[in-house]
Structure 1
Amino acid sequence: MTTTSDVWRIASLADAARARAAVDRLTADGDLPTLERARFLTSLTARLRRCLGQGGAWELRLRARRTTAVGDGHLEVSLRPAGAAGPAPDDGPTLTCPLPRQLVRSNLGDDIALPEALLRADENTAAVLTLLDDRERLVTLHREELHQTNQGVLALHSDLEAAALAQRELLRAERTARAEAERARRLLTFLGDASAAITVSLSRAAILRRLSDLLVPKYAEDVDVWIFDDENEGGDEDEGSDEPGGDDERGGDDERGGDDERGGDDEPGENEGSHENTGSDEPGGDDRRGEDNRRGGDDEPGGDDEPGEYSERPPHSPRHPNRPNRPHNPPRLRQHSAAAVLAARTGRPQHAAAHPGELPGIGDLPPSVLSPERPLLAIPLGARRLLGVLTLTAPGPRFDADTSVMLVELARRVGIALDNARRYEQYRDTAETLQRAQLTELPTPSGMGLAARYLPATRGLNIGGDWYDAFFQPDGSLLAVIGDVTGHGLRAAVVMGQLRTALRAYAVEDDSPGDMLTRLHRMLGHLQPELYATAMIARFRPGEPEVVWASAGHPPAVVRGADGTVRVLDAKPGVMLGIPLPYTYTDHVTELPPGSSLVLYTDGLVERRAQGLDDGIERLAHALGTLSTPELEQDLDAAADALLKPLLHDSERDDDVCVLLCHTMTPTEQEREGHAN
């Protein structure tokens, strides 16, 4: 940047006039536009007048700066008292103006004639007046244009008035289109929300109950779901027909003992809004009850469904081999409309009403005897196969076409959700059955008591990874084992069985707990490198008041001493089994005198979503501390139940639970005398 600076002394009006004239010449030489030059000089004149009014001598400092390489710059003018280091405090900021052309030097030292300066001022004034004349001519032109525009606006108003009626008609048509679009949007929104609500659960009873809650009363006055038997997929659906007009329909009534179709068990009004008749009305049922009997019975808080839900498996489920396939009292046989029967046969939705529905993709039938006043809409529920029929009673005089399309799509999604729930339950039952088949029957060692509990998860497919085991080694030592395989389902149950079998094989060689875990670690990493497991092994030797144990990433065991004190075996555990790194597990020794208890468990007992693992272990320790030695020695099973009760007070579990309670019995007086002799 190049800077040229000059100072002009101002002591009188003549000096001020010369300085102004010099600045005028500089701005003119810098090609500053006339209007900008006039504004700049006016500001400078006002500043000079203010300084002279204050009296004394002043210095006018000019700086011409070059700002770019192309030659342009700007001019800075500042005033300060003569001899002062800076501008006066009450003086304004430095005056600045841009210069399109760079000045060579300021030439303030040259003498400037005042007449010449006056003429220059007149030239500036003339230029400003010329500019004002141009502006006045433009204003006049704009006035004429504005007048013409106003005339055009007046003419436009008359045209707009003529188009008002046409616009109102367009608005009316737009409102109608918007209403239809909004109605379609509401239907799509309901379809999406309903789909999310029915697919969030894997319980068929919960799906059907939510379906009824969603449809009644806005889209249907009554909802009936006819689920076919798993073994007889709709083969007897014509048994429930209420309609005359075919041998198949009448045959169903004859099998019920007469043609009293209006006086049957499912007379209109008896099952209004009910979807609890979702179980099969055919022999064999839906085969989905009995979860508590197979999943822990009284020991397990809660059942398979969500809180407040009911199980779907009938008591005559073939999963109870000691019960017949039918209850002692035959089930109530329900009647189904001819529309439902035809929908089950053809797989096509059917509409039954006194007037044709003319609904897209839906057949029309005469009105149903079960609902002569209201139309019925029977929609098949199908996924990979036909599962049943959803029958809806219209909430008004007829079904709307758009609503019927939405209901058909919703029924299709319900069928998929029901099929997923059925497949999930079959997979879960298989995994649970496999896991329970591999759980060990506890031995009865001398001087010790053992009690075990296994409770499957009640939410999700978290079944198959947890196990316990207890058996004798060749030297008479008792091994107590607890473990948990990562993952769930059939694969976890199979890996669990492999680990259990391998551990029993390693125990034959009289290895220590640490040696057995080391061998299990190598075996799992070789056979199942993508799966991991935690495990803990405790060895009890007859007559020794101690326990030798080793842990592979498993939650720490809890010990209750004979005096009632509780402690956690919080020694650092080894890595999880199967981690891809070599590791040798070490043994730990803990005193366990007679009258003491050792609790082995899996993380499902102590881990909760809203709480940490340490909090759960602390609750377990507190629950164990509340048990007395007499309680533990008189009935260890009851003590195990009492231990689980405060920890599993809620009915929902995200993971399965294994607990193995080991108690060393206090010797009797005779046993003490025998040992002393």
Structure 2
Amino acid sequence: MLRRRPPRSASADDLLSTLGRLTAQAREGAELQQARVELAEALQREMLPATLPEAPGLRAAATYAPARHGLDIGGDWFDGFPLADGSLAYCIGDVQGHDVEAAAFMGQIRLALRAVATGAADPGEVLSRANDLLLSVDCGLFATCTFLRFDPVTWELTSARAGHVPGLWATADGRFGLAEDAGGLPLGIMPAESYPVTRRRLTKAGVFVLLTDGVVEGPSFPIEVGLAKVARLVSDTVGAEPADVAAGVMSVAEFTGHQDDAAVIVLCHDAAEDRHG
């Protein structure tokens, strides 16, 4: 009977050659991933506005922070623009997923919201029309969003939410809380979805904050704890400059251990009676 010769062990040269090939492949993969991260961050920052519109008695600021480790960047956004009737629109949102595709979809949503806002009566209609428009392109992604409209004549905020984290408010008399308004599903999920509108007349001087969940949720503590921390911080900074409030709110993300990107909008406002007697 012939005995089968045992397989020959690989030589040191063979092992080194294999290791070198695998290392080169890993390096190429890492470089490709890093390139995608850098592209996503560049897209994200270039598509976000440098400034937000303001009005006498209303001051605005926003800030954005990329994901801590880079891999989850792409998708959070904010925007602000004037409307034809003289009111001001502000919106903030979070796209499902990350990377270049999410950053590109974020750009589509911003354009869709700007387009439909020119002919929509209120924030609920804006979200409803934008939702149907995004579904028509069938990209397979969805996004949460809050859309807010400020009327400088009535000194009223009207807002609608599409599955987004609630905003926060505080007034100069020491009151503060969450804006847990009724809302609808995220954009891009269900056709003909409706979005209830909440109206607030700004009778007292204060601040209104919109943010994404990357600010208030992470491995270190849950979203409820993060929101409570931001609410207390906002109540302590009524009267401060909006950029300072935005920076303070964003600092909460450092305590959450967040791995997502994050965005914040801050609106500091006078009281309605101070503007209109």
Q: Name the structure 1 match of 2:107.
A: 497
Summarize the alignment of residues 65-80 of structure 1 with structure 2, pairs less than 5 Å apart: none
- Aligned match of 1:596 in 206, 212, 235? 206
Unpaired runs of at least 5, structure 1? 1-176, 178-183, 185-359, 361-400
Q: Once the 2 structures are TM-superposed, how far is the Cα of residue 417 of structure 1 from its aligned partner?
A: 1.9
- Aligned match of 1:462 in 60, 64, 72? 72
Q: Name the structure 2 match of 1:484.
A: 94
Q: Name the structure 1 match of 2:85.
A: 475
Q: Name the structure 1 match of 2:245.
A: 639
Q: Secondary structure at the match of 2:254?
A: coil
Q: Distance in 2 between matches of 1:425 and 1:437?
A: 18
Summarize the alignment of residues 508-527 of structure 1 with structure 2, pairs less than 5 Å apart: 508-527=118-137
Larger Rg: 1
Whether the 8 Å contact between 1:449 and 1:665 is mirrored in structure 2 is no
Whether the 8 Å contact between 1:619 and 1:647 is mirrored in structure 2 is no
**CA spacing shift, 1:609–1:649, aligned 2, 3 Å:** closer
Q: Which amino acid aligns with 1:644?
A: M
Correspondence 1:654 to 2:263: no
Q: Distance in 2 between matches of 1:486 and 1:646?
A: 22
Q: Distance in 2 between matches of 1:562 and 1:460?
A: 38
Whether the 8 Å contact between 1:462 and 1:655 is mirrored in structure 2 is yes
RMSD of aligned Cα (Å): 2.5
**CA spacing shift, 1:536–1:406, aligned 2, 3 Å:** same
Whether the 8 Å contact between 1:561 and 1:595 is mirrored in structure 2 is yes
Q: Secondary structure at the match of 2:43?
A: helix
Q: Secondary structure at the match of 1:647?
A: helix
- Aligned match of 1:435 in 39, 44, 47? 44
Q: Distance in 2 between matches of 1:618 and 1:406?
A: 56
Normalising by structure 2, we get a TM-score of 0.88
Q: Distance in 2 between matches of 1:505 and 1:582?
A: 18
Q: Which amino acid aligns with 1:482?
A: I
Q: Once the 2 structures are TM-superposed, how far is the Cα of residue 645 of structure 1 from its aligned partner?
A: 2.0
Q: Once the 2 structures are TM-superposed, how far is the Cα of residue 405 of structure 1 from its aligned partner?
A: 4.2
Q: Secondary structure at the match of 2:36?
A: helix
| 1:433-472 deviation line (CA, Å, top 9, x unaligned) | 1121111132232211111011111225322211101111
Q: Distance in 2 between matches of 1:430 and 1:520?
A: 26
Q: Name the structure 2 match of 1:541.
A: 151
Q: Which amino acid aligns with 2:266?
A: L
Whether the 8 Å contact between 2:131 and 2:191 is mirrored in structure 1 is no
Q: Distance in 2 between matches of 1:424 and 1:491?
A: 13
Q: Name the structure 2 match of 1:561.
A: 171
Normalising by structure 1, we get a TM-score of 0.38
Whether the 8 Å contact between 2:148 and 2:158 is mirrored in structure 1 is yes
- Aligned match of 1:413 in 12, 15, 22? 22
Q: Once the 2 structures are TM-superposed, how far is the Cα of residue 545 of structure 1 from its aligned partner?
A: 4.0
Whether the 8 Å contact between 2:170 and 2:177 is mirrored in structure 1 is yes
Q: Which runs of 4 or more aligned residues in structure 1 lie more than 4 Å from their structure 2 counterparts after TM superposition?
A: none
Q: Name the structure 1 match of 2:56.
A: 446
Q: Name the structure 2 match of 1:111.
A: none
Q: Distance in 2 between matches of 1:423 and 1:522?
A: 35
Summarize the alignment of residues 181-192 of structure 1 with structure 2, pairs less than 5 Å apart: none
**CA spacing shift, 1:653–1:408, aligned 2, 3 Å:** farther
Q: Distance in 2 between matches of 1:628 and 1:509?
A: 34
Q: Which amino acid aligns with 1:551?
A: R
Summarize the alignment of residues 14-53 of structure 1 with structure 2, pairs less than 5 Å apart: none
Q: Which amino acid aligns with 2:223?
A: L
Whether the 8 Å contact between 1:593 and 1:664 is mirrored in structure 2 is no
Q: Distance in 2 between matches of 1:555 and 1:592?
A: 21
Q: Distance in 1 between matches of 2:223 and 2:215?
A: 10
| 1:94-151 deviation line (CA, Å, top 9, x unaligned) | xxxxxxxxxxxxxxxxxxxxxxxxxxxxxxxxxxxxxxxxxxxxxxxxxxxxxxxxxx
**CA spacing shift, 1:638–1:460, aligned 2, 3 Å:** closer
Q: Once the 2 structures are TM-superposed, how far is the Cα of residue 524 of structure 1 from its aligned partner?
A: 1.2
Q: Distance in 2 between matches of 1:407 and 1:653?
A: 40
Correspondence 1:580 to 2:190: yes
Q: Distance in 2 between matches of 1:554 and 1:509?
A: 23
Unpaired runs of at least 5, structure 2? 1-5
Bigger share in strand = 2
Q: Distance in 1 between matches of 2:222 and 2:109?
A: 28
Q: Name the structure 1 match of 2:3.
A: none
Q: Once the 2 structures are TM-superposed, how far is the Cα of residue 514 of structure 1 from its aligned partner?
A: 0.1
Q: Distance in 2 between matches of 1:467 and 1:540?
A: 19
Q: Distance in 2 between matches of 1:551 and 1:605?
A: 18
